[in-house]
Amino acid sequence: MTGRDLTTIERMICGAFAGLVAQTVTYPIEMTRRRMQTLGVVAGNDTAFGNLEAAGTSMSAQQSAAQPLQQKPPTLMCTIRTLYQTQGVRGFFKGVSMNWMKGPIAFSISFTTYDSVQSWFMSEQELRQRLPLRKRLTLAPSPTPTTPNIEPRTKE
């Protein structure tokens, strides 16, 4: 909108903001995936669900330590439902504050690095198209005049 290219700091700020929004929006899905992965790993009192009975299984700690889980893994909807019933909406965002600290930093570096490396591999024509219009006009070669150079009349 301003007719200029973004500075490196502005690119980093845009990347950090994009990372913050992306991490916040996708964190409930990430939390559900993590719960599904850890369900069969922890024996006895499963930390993912509070206890395995809430997830529909009834094995004692000794039985589960002696033999691996032989049941079908829970579905995505079952995991979401159980997580919501046991911990509410806050359960989907448990630990998001640490992601808010590391995510924007990582995203800002990634966005800025990608943008810089991408410009190294672009041709001159692609770079001109990427630049704002004002810069394109100043870099464009001046057109050759097609009309003869006529000087204005002066009074004699």
63-104 per-position pLDDT tens digit: 555 555 456 777 889 889 998 999 999 989 998 888 898 888
Residue 91 lies in a domain: yes
Query: Given a cut of 80, is residue 37 above it in pLDDT?
Result: yes
Question: Cβ neighbours of residue 107 under 8 Å, at least 6 residues apart?
Answer: 15, 16, 18, 19, 20, 22, 23
Q: How far is CA 58 from the centre of its chain?
A: 39
Q: What percent of the chain is modeled with pLDDT above 70? A: 60
Average the pLDDT over 43-56 and give the result: 50
Q: CB of 99 within 8 A of CB of 34?
A: no
Task: Report d(CA 154, CA 145) in Å as an integer.
Answer: 23
- The pLDDT value recorded for residue 52 is 47
Full-model pTM: 0.55
Q: Which residue has the higher pLDDT, 48 or 125?
A: 125
Residue 106 lies in a domain: yes
Residue 63 lies in a domain: yes
Question: Cβ neighbours of residue 130 under 8 Å, at least 6 residues apart?
Answer: 119, 122
Please tell me the total count of domains within the chain: 1
Residue 14 lies in a domain: yes
Range of the domain at 106: 8-130
Q: Which residue has the higher pLDDT, 141 or 117?
A: 117
Residue 118 lies in a domain: yes
Query: Given a cut of 90, is residue 13 above it in pLDDT?
Result: yes
Confidence of residue 20 (pLDDT cuts 50, 70, 90): very high
Residue 70 lies in a domain: yes
Average the pLDDT over 115-144 and give the result: 68
Residue 150 lies in a domain: no
Residue 113 lies in a domain: yes
